[in-house]
Structure 1
Amino acid sequence: MTVLLAVLALCVLAGLWCIAVYNGLVRTRNIVVEARSGMDVQLKRRADLVPNLVETVKSYMGHERGVLESVTGLRAKIDATADPDSRLAMEGQLGTALSRLFAVAENYPALRASENFLSLQQELAAIEGELQLARRYYNGAVRDFNTRIQSFPANLVAGSLGFTAAPSFEIENPADRDTPKVRFDGGGDS
């Protein structure tokens, strides 16, 4: 009878441990989903700002069509793409295209002096800052989740219940890691 109670107690403890591990995995996975959502909110704010920025710039620099078309084309592709990983890659390309747009805008003093352009530029800079924070939070949440599902003994439960590693946000194009040299004071090289 004592052996039966001991085996039963071990089974109950093992079951409780599995439940605790499962709940912890679900909690950290939900944090990753929340972090991804926060990043998507900032990306949406940036995407909503792009048409206003393009319209403002278009009136000043109509012959810089390639830069404008690149920005608007990428925004349209992002809106049409459902795959989150593909969207993230294109969002990085959009950031690069926006940097090129601002670099070209240096050649237009009237545009740089435009109150509307300056306001949009400041708003975009604020959104980019928030987006950087959201990306760091997301990558931290992914790191914690991936560490949890890969650590022993939780990996025994995670693997059997279908928990898989979440992808971190990474820049696809190594050239995008370089800091763009953009100046709005009219001097220097771009």
Structure 2
Amino acid sequence: MRLRLFAVVLLGALLALAACGGDGDDSSSGPTATSSDAATPTSEGSASGIPSTIEATVRIASATAAVGADVTVSVTATASAAPGVGAWTFNVAYDPAVVSVVDCPSVGTQVCNPALDDHTVRAAGAVAEGLTGEATLATITFRCESVGTSALTISLEVLADATIGDPRIIDAPVEDGQVVCG
């Protein structure tokens, strides 16, 4: 049952990642999934309409670096209790006149699209057992291209708990960050 839930939630996260951009390659490399292939919670809560009772916060770190240097920031979620965070999809907008994305590795059950567009990174992931306490959802490495400050603005698309069989949307505040290049 946990494996099935994990597969459904991960497929939903992957579909969300692919829905608003991919790797920029419009060529077809095989069959593709559609949004009707997976059950995805909505902002109104779960399929049963019951929102999660978990309190969580999603934040991105701030950093400072010299022009030409790379700096890595983490996006974390802090969840108050079980069942914990089970799935996430978010965008991080940045100023391409100040920084560029060097890397956003896909690790474990988390995937990252560093080139959603010319100023946005998208990350998505899922875990069947849920994440409690503070957990890293993604790491993004930026390169300082010019002197200035780039806001790192999180747009939370989905944050769902790990309720087995019926993941529920977590209404979480976000804390934006910045990269200061000098």
TM tier relative to shorter chain = under 0.3
Q: If the length of structure 1 is used for normalisation, what is the TM-score?
A: 0.25
The normalised TM-score by structure 2 is: 0.25
Q: If each structure's strand is expressed as a fraction of its own residues, which one has the higher value?
A: 2
Between Structure 1 and Structure 2, which shows a larger proportion of helix residues? 1
- Highest Rg: 1 or 2? 1
